[in-house]
Structure 1
């Protein structure tokens, strides 16, 4: 009888222990789930705040409001110091401030943190082009051009063509400009660049065609008018020469192109 009572007590105690363990486990799981949800919510809010700060900062930059840009981009970096886009924004801001060393540091930090951030890579390449560091720019632009999802690929190919031309890679430059036009048929500078190269190659009908297309898309530029003068002369269109020369004189009287035109006109008439 005593043994039966002892066995009964042991069984009851075991059942109670299992019940307690199960209750504790369920409570622990609930607590873990709740903490995970809170952490996820905080992470979502942080990501949302980061995106907002970057968007506002870049928007202020486009408007030329450096103080507004600085405020929001600094908040972005405080929210996430490892944000490539935030460093990209700060680089653009310092570039606008003519603080080139700081700009380069932030470009490099952006690409170190996010090597696939094509926007930062493209912006860094443009920065390098302005510093006449064409080989470095060219290498970054090649990588940027390989990103088929980047929305500004046509602009990348335009700049890639400019870098290639500076490095003496003329055929590659022309191919890049053709690609820019293929991606964006409204890319006016690419038409002008190609027109100039076809003129140099003496492929004059092609030069004329590309220059005409440029003129349809963009306003007058000294380089376009000067090219138009020489093309008109080749095709013996003296009215075209006169009208474009007048426009060049009126609109760009202090340009190098106007000086070149005057020297050309003098040599042409033998004066």
Structure 2
């Protein structure tokens, strides 16, 4: 029996052994004539190499398969999969497209191309391709699950839910369908159903970090903090890990709740600026536990704001040379055994540096008599994976607020949207402070001079509330952060100063803005800022 014949046998282990002998054939010149049989053999070798984790050789094999038969849809499909595995989306897309062009009813190639379109944000195209894949293979559960995710993203929740159920009706072991259904039910705030699905998924796949994280976020949103914090620790092993941590971990001993009396503690930054602003409230509690020295890893934009905070010994870019324990920023609440009844929420716990006061006064100019000064932020950080849901499309989305008399609007916008503040739409007079803000200390000084801040879910919401300033927070239905809970219009993290305005439907900001305009009209009529 020839090696080629053996490779196409049923024994995967035997095939992997043979590939190590045959792979040397890649070095031989390819035939200049079309040879479908030879192409099929190279596909077999490539698949065996890929199964053995020899992906460089697999890629070479699939390229040889395409050379031997440029009209082989399977050869292009396997090549596309290998490019996709390497996250080379342009080459993957080109190879998937060629496979589909050669065989328009090739379900696996249609599905692969649709997944690439998802990653590129071309959701409508991905829907068309997934539907073609399902039409070609009506029992293609994985394609149904992926189509459910596309429909979910497009805001067509009823269709998405039906598609997830259809996928699970074919194969209950489709992990992505369980995950997608749990997220959808959470988004619809059908919390009992969502929790049941998420728990079931964790029971099936207890070692899958994304599933544990999803359950943790849901439990935290339901104020079930003890179990929620424990599951939330899965973020470090999940697909969220790149957002959670961008630098090397420090050495030393992780703090796991040991006594801190006389010990030094280093807090490691993770996630965004708002998370750090929220968590520094724990500094006084940590000092009362006997921490002898507290260092805090801190990004440059936050450093001028936090450097004068009592209880922090040093703000650093990286871990100090010596310390007893370290912990992540967002692990502090778990280690402090925080639940909904004991959140440390004494406000304000931050203040604007005194030496920035003159900067803010000069930037804003004299206050018009009898006028409310209201800060605005309409976009968050574009790098946040939920930003497309949380941010408004443009400053013009807030245009109805300008119908309220007796209000001066001040832009606190940084990054995306900042250019809009320089040239606001007609009829939306706006004092552009954002362009002049150098860091969060500047922002805090300006907020100190305002009566109210209206913002989407971004760091400014945490900053304003931590300063004790009334803040109205505009919340998207999808991408809703756990800390804002479900249904309530206030926040136990920022009691008395924060008011929550929630979307009723995914993507529908108009109802939220109408509610804000009515509240602002009532506030302006009172002549003073009251958050509730």
Fold similarity call, TM over 0.5: yes
Partner of 1:169: 122
Of 217, 220, 238, the match for 1:266: 220
Q: 1:205 to 1:129 in 2, by over 3 A?
A: same
* Structure of higher RCO (CA pairs closer than 8 Å, 6+ residues apart): 2
Distance (Å, rounded) in 2 between the aligned partners of 1:165 and 1:92: 25
DSSP 3-state at the match of 1:64: helix
Query: Does structure 1 residue 243 correspond to structure 2 residue 173?
Result: no
Cα deviation code 1:70-93 (max 9, x no counterpart) = 49968x99xxx7422222222223
Once structures 1 and 2 are overlaid, which stretch shifts more, 191-200 or 136-145?
191-200
Distance (Å, rounded) in 2 between the aligned partners of 1:130 and 1:68: 23
Once structures 1 and 2 are overlaid, which stretch shifts more, 123-132 or 112-121?
112-121
Cα deviation code 1:49-72 (max 9, x no counterpart) = 9xx8645422346x3323565499
Of 140, 150, 154, the match for 2:107: 154
Once structures 1 and 2 are overlaid, which stretch shifts more, 137-146 or 94-103?
94-103
Q: How does 1:86-105 map to 2 (within 5 A)?
A: 86-105=41-60
Partner of 1:190: 143
Partner of 1:11: none
Partner of 2:79: 124
Instruction: Please give the root-mean-square deviation of Cα atoms over the aligned residues, in Å.
Output: 3.2
Distance (Å, rounded) in 2 between the aligned partners of 1:261 and 1:247: 10
Cα deviation code 1:195-251 (max 9, x no counterpart) = 112122221110111011011011244432333234445666555334323312322
Partner of 2:260: none
Of 161, 165, 169, the match for 1:216: 169
**What are the ranges of 5 or more consecutive residues in structure 2 without an aligned counterpart?**
32-37, 225-339, 341-532
Partner of 2:97: 142
Distance (Å, rounded) in 1 between the aligned partners of 2:162 and 2:132: 17
Of the two, which has the highest radius of gyration?
1
Distance (Å, rounded) in 1 between the aligned partners of 2:103 and 2:4: 24
Relative to total residues, which structure has the larger helix share, 1 or 2? 1
DSSP 3-state at the match of 1:132: coil
Scaled by the length of structure 1, the TM-score of the pair is: 0.68
Query: Does structure 1 residue 114 correspond to structure 2 residue 65?
Result: no
For residue 186 of structure 1, report the CA deviation from its aligned partner.
0.4
Distance (Å, rounded) in 2 between the aligned partners of 1:237 and 1:100: 43
**What are the ranges of 5 or more consecutive residues in structure 1 without an aligned counterpart?**
1-48
DSSP 3-state at the match of 1:269: coil
